[in-house]
Amino acid sequence: MKLIIAIIRPERLQAVQDALQKTLDEGDNYRLTVASVDGHGRAVGEVEYFRGQQVRARMAQKAQITIGVNDAYVEKAIDAIVAAARGSGGGEIGDGKIFVLPLEQCVRIRTGERGGSAI
């Protein structure tokens, strides 16, 4: 099991969800957690103005997707996110990043079942 954390442009969220649905959904609705996050990568944040003072917030608004997958689905999910998050214009600074982490355990609270079947 792996935990995939993807940080993407908020406006690509819809496309990424559609792509993940196509790849992961097997009629039981795939699972996904989304958060609105602020941060920066190579791109520095935009310059803002507040009462005439220039402020560089060093932050850009992004969407963060967290999704747990079984090993067989990891590559497919990564490919789907990369393709959809890049958009039609091809890659640009600010498109985001994907982290893949080993996932030690997964528990479905309702039933108490564990492991791959709980994902």
Partner 1 sequence: MLDSILGGVAGGVSLALADPVVAAQAASAPAAAPVVAASQIDSGSTAWMLMSSAMVLLMVPGLALFYGGMVRRKNVLTTMLHAFVAMAIIGLQWVLIGYCLAFGKSIGGFIGWSPEYIAFNGISHDALYGDKRVPELVFAMFQGKFAIITPALIAGAVAERISFRAYVLFILLWSTFVYCPLAHWVWASGGWLFEKGVLDFAGGTVVHIASGVSALALVLLVGNRRDYPDGAIMPNSLVLTLTGAGLLWFGWFGFNAGSAVAVESPVAGYAAVLAFTTTQTAAAAAALVWMLLEWKHTGKPTSLGVASGIVAGLVAITPAAGHVTPMWAIVIGAGGSVVCYLAVQCKARHRKDDSLDAFGVHGVGGMWGAIATGIFCFTPVAGLVNGGGFRQIGLQLLGVGVTVAFAFVMTIIIGTIVNLVVGLRVTDTQERDGLDITIHGERGYHL
Q: Which residues bind partner 1 (CB under 8 A)?
A: 9, 11, 14, 38, 46-50, 57, 59, 61
CA dist 91 → 80, 86, 95 (Å):
14, 5, 7
In whole angstroms, the minimum distance from the beta carbon of 14 to partner 1 comes to 5
Instruction: Kindly tell me which of 27 and 52 has the beta carbon lying closer to partner 1.
Output: 52
In whole angstroms, the minimum distance from the beta carbon of 29 to partner 1 comes to 17
- Whether the CB-CB separation of 13 and 63 falls below 8 Å is answered with yes
Task: Show the tokens assigned to 51.
Answer: 């009462």
Instruction: Kindly tell me which of 14 and 21 has the beta carbon lying closer to partner 1.
Output: 14
Q: How many residues does the chain have?
A: 119
Task: Show the tokens assigned to 29.
Answer: 């609705």
In whole angstroms, the minimum distance from the beta carbon of 100 to partner 1 comes to 27
